[in-house]
Amino acid sequence: MSGTLVLVRHGQSEWNLKNLFTGWRDVGLTEQGHEEAKTAGAKLAARGLKFDIAYTSALVRAQVTCQHILDAVGQADLQTVRDQALNERDYGDLAGLNKDDARAKWGEEQVHVWRRSYDVPPPGGESLRDTGARVWPYYMHVIQPHVLRGETVLVAAHGNSLRALIMALDGLSGEEVVKVELGTGVPIVYRLNADSTVASKEIIES
C-alpha cells in the first residue's frame, strides 16, 4: 500500500516581496501570495486529491496557505496540525534585514555562505542542517506513519523546512540540497512505497 505526500511552500509573503530575511518572524501573505495558495489548491483539486490530514508550521503565512488549499479541495474543516518543527529556518540576527543591507554590512561572500551553505548558521540562527535536525524527527515520527498507512497528507510549510524534507526523500547531499529551488505555491506530489522509499515525484507547475 502506498501513500501520498503533498508538499507546498507558502505563497509569497509580505517580506518575500520586500526582500527581507523572514525566518521565524510572523508575517502575512501578499495579495499575490493568497492567489498562489488558492491556485495550488485548484491544481490539486483538478487532480482529484483529497487529504486525510494536514500539517503546517506555527507561522501564519504557512497556515493561511494550508487553509486556502483545503478550501479549494472542499475540505475546509480537515484536521490540521500546527507545529513549530515545520517552521522556516531561523535566520537569527539577519531576520528583518533587507538582503542588500545585509550584504553591505557583512559582505556579499559572507551573506552568500549563510544563505546557501548547508551547515554554516547566521549569527544567532540555524543552518539548513540545524533546520533538518528538527524537521526530520517530526516527519519520521508524526507525518510519515500516516503516509505509510496509505493516507494522503498535506504539508504546507516553508522553503527551508521543505528543503530539508526533500533532502531526505530524494537522498540529496548537503551540497545538492542547497541548490534546490522551491517556488511559492507550487505543489510537489510524492507517492511513497510501503518501505518509505519514493515511488514517484511530480512538481505541479502548470
Burial (CB < 10 A; 0-12, 13-18, 19+), residue 142, is middle
Q: Does the structure show a pLDDT above 90 at 139?
A: yes
Q: Does the structure show a pLDDT above 70 at 37?
A: yes
Q: pLDDT tens digit string along 180-189?
A: 999 999 999 9
Q: Does the structure show a pLDDT above 90 at 97?
A: yes
What band does 18 get if pLDDT is binned at 50, 70 and 90? very high
Q: So what's the pLDDT on residue 1?
A: 63
Q: Does the structure show a pLDDT above 80 at 57?
A: yes
Q: Does the structure show a pLDDT above 80 at 100?
A: yes
Instruction: Give the range of the structural domain holding residue 23, as residue numbers without chain letter.
Output: 3-203
How many domains are contained in the chain? 1
CB 188 within 8 Å of CB 7: yes
- The set of cell numbers assigned to 135 is 524537521
Query: What is the Cβ-side half-sphere exposure of residue 169, based on CA atoms within 13 angstroms?
Result: 27
Mean of the pLDDT values across residues 71-93? 97
- Average pLDDT across the chain, whole number: 96
Q: So what's the pLDDT on residue 79?
A: 97
Q: pLDDT tens digit string along 148-161?
A: 999 999 999 999 99
User: Is 68 among the residues known to form the active site?
Assistant: no
What band does 206 get if pLDDT is binned at 50, 70 and 90? confident
User: Is 88 among the residues known to form the active site?
Assistant: yes
Mean of the pLDDT values across residues 93-97? 94
Could you say which of 36, 68, 88, 126 is catalytic?
88
- Where residue 171 sits, what CATH number does that domain have? 3.40.50.1240
Mean of the pLDDT values across residues 44-49? 97
Biggest CA-to-CA distance, the chain: 53
Q: pLDDT tens digit string along 116-137?
A: 999 999 999 999 999 999 999 9
Q: Does the structure show a pLDDT above 90 at 2?
A: no
What band does 96 get if pLDDT is binned at 50, 70 and 90? very high
Nearest-CA neighbor of 205 among 39, 29, 17? 39
CA-CA distance, 139 to 98, in Å (whole number)? 32
Q: So what's the pLDDT on residue 148?
A: 96
pTM of the model: 0.96
